Structure 1
Amino acid sequence: MKKFIAFWGSLGMMMVMNALPVLAADGSSAGSHGAVPLWLCIPFAGLLLCIAILPLVKPVWWEEHQPLAVVFWSLLFIVPFAVAYGTGEAVQTVMECIVDDYLTFIVLLFGLFCVSGNITMEGDLAGSPRVNVGLLLIGTLLSSWIGTTGASMLMVRPVIKMNSWRSRKCHIMIFFIFLISNIGGCLTPIGDPPLLMGFMRGVPFFWSLHLIGLMLFNVVLLLFIFYWIDRRAYRKDIAEGLKPDITKPGTQVRIKGLHNLFFIIMIVAAVILSGVLPGLSVFQDASGNVLGIPVYKNVKLTIPSLIEIVIILAAAFLSFRTTNSEIRRQNHFTWGAIKEVAVLFIGIFITMQPALMILKAKGGELGITQPFEMFWSTGMLSSFLDNTPTYLVFLTTAGALGAQNGMVTTLGIVPIEMLIAISAGAVFMGANTYIGNAPNFMVKSIADENGIRMPSFFGYLLWSLSILVPVFILDTLLFLL
């Protein structure tokens, strides 16, 4: 009965969180496609429900037939959209989604997945509450400098390996997602893609350090909560006779494949270049448009994006060529996690297009004028949609408020309090769901592969509602009012 109540409570919360901004937009948009009807968002909601429910009720079927579900829900959007707006418009919308968003997204994940899989840590440092707090803190601090995805892929296997002897450990990976995969990435444009988009629109590179107080408050509070949860679980494991396999006295830790850090730096440099090169005249035509390779109609693969892809794939290739396969064996490296993410997220990227169209068309009409409103609106939508376009929509909205003082961007003057709220909402609340930020689902998949029973979609949502939402309420009261 408790599971039944929890399931429907979570489902209701998710639907409310998605519906509120849409209802505020009167159920339609007046974007370039005309009035996009609300019912075109059904495939997106359907795919999310499949991701949430089928692993619980039909796990074997879901494991084998994920591509069929993705194709079904994608066609359920593409075909009606083509009927309403024409085949050419439908093809262009899908190609824009794949070329502009999905391609660089999955190549980045693939590159970091490959390179991090060639780094392993061995020794007698066992997963205890203090050790785990230290690991989470290190990963959180790394996130702003090598990206949340880079830090997640670098730290996930060492954390799993050091806690392999424990029975109760899913909470460790949940807080890993909270901190390393999301909150830690708020201090630089490298940390999370929304901040990179802000940098490309005139926000100074180190402006995000304004968020350091807010970030430290959240990190300290979450690590405190984690310590006591982990301490209780650790004592139960010890009481049941579990203990780490430590044969030598002292603390000895050795990292293998350390040269792969150079390839991670290559990937980070590629991401930075993708944000800087479009603004250089050499990569622009006479009209100021970014040069690229035509794909379909107005869709093109830009030269900066192509450079980013080539550098990332080169880093992945060189990583494999220069690393002993024994390291991958020690890491239990397989391709399952990246395959699952690649399949599911192409469906998510395609089917969420109507929701983004509605948001882009009506975001400025929602009457959001206060920092705390920006924080929660940006955050709630970033929990389920791509946080980069969501960030840009609300940054544009804030730039159109006519403020006289604040940060001067290409979108207008944005009050500092508004910019803090939008940035924090987009980065922090990506932790609310598995699909809120790119590395979340990857961490879950790797944990699942290594025998850690991660919560279902709604089970994870209950963790975020119970722990993250109260923290975000404190953020609002202490920093955003």
Structure 2
Amino acid sequence: MVALAAELTNVPLWLCIPFACLLLCIAIIPLVKGEWWEKYRPFAVIFWSLLFIIPFAVKYGAGTAAETVLECLVNDYLTFIVLLFGLFCVAGNITVEGSLVGSPRVNVILLGIGTFLSSWIGTTGASMLLVRPVIKMNSWRRNKAHIMVFFIFLISNMGGSLTPIGDPPLLMGFSRGVPFFWSIRFFPILLLNMIILLTVLYFIDKRAYRKDIAAGYMPEIKENEPLIRFEGLHNIIFIVIIVVAVILSGVLPDVSFFQNAAGEVISIPIFGEVKLAITSLIEVVMILLAAFLSFKTTNAEIRKKNHFTWGAIQEVAVLFIGIFITMQPALMILKSAGAELGLTHPSQMFWVTGALSSFLDNTPTYLVFLTTAGSMGFVSGLTTALGVVPAKMLTAISCGAVFMGAITYIGNAPNFMVKSISDENGVKMPSFFGYIVWSLCCLVPVFLIDTLLFFI
């Protein structure tokens, strides 16, 4: 795609309008025309996608437009949605029963455990594994949406910061020379953020818990039940297979067996310069096989207990195909202008990488600023395939990409999925803008503290 990238260095800003309009539709229409949005959501996605594709084709040619859309769908969206689908299926086949009920203390402990788990099975894996148990344990309560908001903050985002397994940006860094366990050094930052956010959650939840009790909401007392009991636990094997598939996607491209004589990854031609890397195909096949085996080996009764439906994954698949297509001009502009933004300080990298990752895919955003930092001519720091990057600068870029995906529902893959599953199960989640208010009030102060302590 080198020639195509060179041709598209001066993309006009107005081509970003369909992306902005699609985001506004996602944010506003469910509030004013909820039933209409449920019914016609796919048509809105098609409309705004075409409103980008057609002018883009007129300006750059139909062939270039086709390559741009296919490149996005084949090499970005495909692996994204297959990973989400696989984890959604496998996690839906694990259920948690028992006498443990949601309370401020239990919720804080569960979210704390889930946050650390995210770095080892990925933010998406931990989110899909724990979202239903957390909802189920708090199902007796009326005031509980705030629990799922903090779930997104911690498990769906920040928890993925300690290893390349945790979040795709760090996996891309690993494939470009960042040592696998290098990001463990983010632990003090993550721990501080966890302490602050879990403390805030505890006091918010304590107040809501007392309101629920005062209003007569009481948990069901289950006689002769253990505190916690799992069914379908063999599906952990399939989650491990999916995690291994994700790791291999970052490792195999550097293995000579998967490279041709020119040192490029062996790929399947799709159209023009668009190719599907054989390593990506291996990842997709492994994930789909794990999902298939999970369904074949798990009793359907477990899915009934989980209130398992396909609605959440369908909603995410439809919305994000439009987001991935329409955000291409914004990514092109960012790639061409990233080096000209004058970002020379870690604090600047932290906030700009994070702010853009809140609305764009955080993986290409991370790579843009990692490349920018690597080209600045630093002589001391971590040596990567993209150049030498000072440790504090790389930490700022990494934490910005991983942490600030929590600012919006579309900032990271599991965010919208957690929202959809919560809505499906009777948790009235904040609207798109309502959630941003939560993140601005709870997360921005934490990020300011991070800046002062770690990035100045």
**Which TM-score bucket, shorter chain as reference?**
over 0.9
Question: What amino acid is the match of 1:36?
Answer: V
Corresponding residue for 1:171? 146
Instruction: Report deviation, 1:129.
Output: 0.3
Corresponding residue for 1:364? 339
Corresponding residue for 2:197? 222
Question: What amino acid is the match of 1:163?
Answer: N
Question: What amino acid is the match of 1:224?
Answer: T
Answer whether contact 2:98 2:222 (CA < 8 A) is retained: no
Give the distance between the partners of 1:319 and 1:243, measured in 2 at CA: 35
Of 76, 80, 86, 1:105 maps to 80
1:390-401 superposed matches below 5 A:
390-401=365-376
Of 382, 388, 404, 1:413 maps to 388
1:135-284 superposed matches below 5 A:
135-248=110-223, 252-284=227-259
3-state SS, counterpart of residue 287 of structure 1: coil
Answer whether contact 2:9 2:333 (CA < 8 A) is retained: no
Answer whether contact 2:122 2:167 (CA < 8 A) is retained: yes
Instruction: Report deviation, 1:250.
Output: 7.9
Answer whether contact 1:74 1:350 (CA < 8 A) is retained: yes
Q: Deviations over 1:109-136 (max 9, x none)?
A: 0000000000000011000000001110
Q: Deviations over 1:260-308 (max 9, x none)?
A: 0000000000000111000111111111111111100111111100000
Give the distance between the partners of 2:226 and 2:299, measured in 1 at CA: 25
Question: What amino acid is the match of 1:353?
Answer: Q
Corresponding residue for 1:349? 324
Give the distance between the partners of 1:287 and 1:374, measured in 2 at CA: 34
Give the distance between the partners of 2:197 and 2:307, measured in 1 at CA: 30
Give the distance between the partners of 2:268 and 2:174, measured in 1 at CA: 25
Corresponding residue for 1:320? 295
Q: Deviations over 1:324-345 (max 9, x none)?
A: 0000000000000000000000
Instruction: Report deviation, 1:33.
Output: 1.6
Answer whether contact 1:41 1:351 (CA < 8 A) is retained: yes
Give the distance between the partners of 2:190 and 2:219, measured in 1 at CA: 33
Instruction: Report deviation, 1:251.
Output: 5.3
Structure 1 residues 275 and 34, CA gap change in structure 2 (3 angstroms): closer
Give the distance between the partners of 2:17 and 2:227, measured in 1 at CA: 53
Give TM-score scaled by structure 1 length. 0.93
Answer whether contact 1:383 1:430 (CA < 8 A) is retained: yes
Corresponding residue for 1:382? 357
Q: Deviations over 1:365-400 (max 9, x none)?
A: 000000000000000000000000000000011111
Give the distance between the partners of 2:225 and 2:325, measured in 1 at CA: 52
Corresponding residue for 1:56? 31
3-state SS, counterpart of residue 413 of structure 1: strand
Give the distance between the partners of 2:6 and 2:188, measured in 1 at CA: 38
3-state SS, counterpart of residue 72 of structure 1: helix
Segment of structure 1 superposing worse, 200-209 or 31-40: 31-40
Give the distance between the partners of 1:213 and 1:34, measured in 2 at CA: 39
Of 264, 268, 278, 1:289 maps to 264
Instruction: Report deviation, 1:249.
Output: 6.7
Corresponding residue for 1:6? none
Q: How many corresponding residue pairs? A: 452
Instruction: Report deviation, 1:247.
Output: 2.7
Give the distance between the partners of 1:213 and 1:261, measured in 2 at CA: 29
Give the distance between the partners of 1:216 and 1:48, measured in 2 at CA: 32
Q: Deviations over 1:156-196 (max 9, x none)?
A: 00000000000000000000000000000000000000000
Answer whether contact 2:9 2:332 (CA < 8 A) is retained: no
Give the distance between the partners of 1:349 and 1:315, measured in 2 at CA: 25
Structure 1 residues 422 and 34, CA gap change in structure 2 (3 angstroms): closer
Instruction: Report deviation, 1:429.
Output: 0.1
Answer whether contact 1:201 1:410 (CA < 8 A) is retained: yes
Q: Structure 1 vs Structure 2: percent identity of aligned residues?
A: 72
Question: What amino acid is the match of 2:281?
Answer: L
Give the distance between the partners of 1:278 and 1:249, measured in 2 at CA: 53
3-state SS, counterpart of residue 295 of structure 1: strand
Give the distance between the partners of 1:169 and 1:432, measured in 2 at CA: 19
Give the distance between the partners of 1:309 and 1:217, measured in 2 at CA: 36
Instruction: Report deviation, 1:90.
Output: 0.1
Question: What amino acid is the match of 1:448?
Answer: D
Answer whether contact 1:31 1:361 (CA < 8 A) is retained: no
Structure 1 residues 277 and 434, CA gap change in structure 2 (3 angstroms): same
Answer whether contact 1:31 1:358 (CA < 8 A) is retained: no
Answer whether contact 2:177 2:384 (CA < 8 A) is retained: yes
Of 257, 267, 283, 1:308 maps to 283
Segment of structure 1 superposing worse, 446-455 or 242-251: 242-251
Give the distance between the partners of 1:350 and 1:87, measured in 2 at CA: 15
Structure 1 residues 104 and 425, CA gap change in structure 2 (3 angstroms): same
Instruction: Report deviation, 1:100.
Output: 0.5
Question: What amino acid is the match of 1:424?
Answer: C
* Residue 66 (structure 1) aligned with residue 41 (structure 2): yes
3-state SS, counterpart of residue 195 of structure 2: helix
3-state SS, counterpart of residue 383 of structure 2: strand
Instruction: Report deviation, 1:359.
Output: 0.2
Answer whether contact 2:75 2:276 (CA < 8 A) is retained: yes
* Residue 476 (structure 1) aligned with residue 451 (structure 2): yes
Question: What amino acid is the match of 2:11?
Answer: V
Instruction: Report deviation, 1:138.
Output: 1.0
Instruction: Report deviation, 1:31.
Output: 4.6
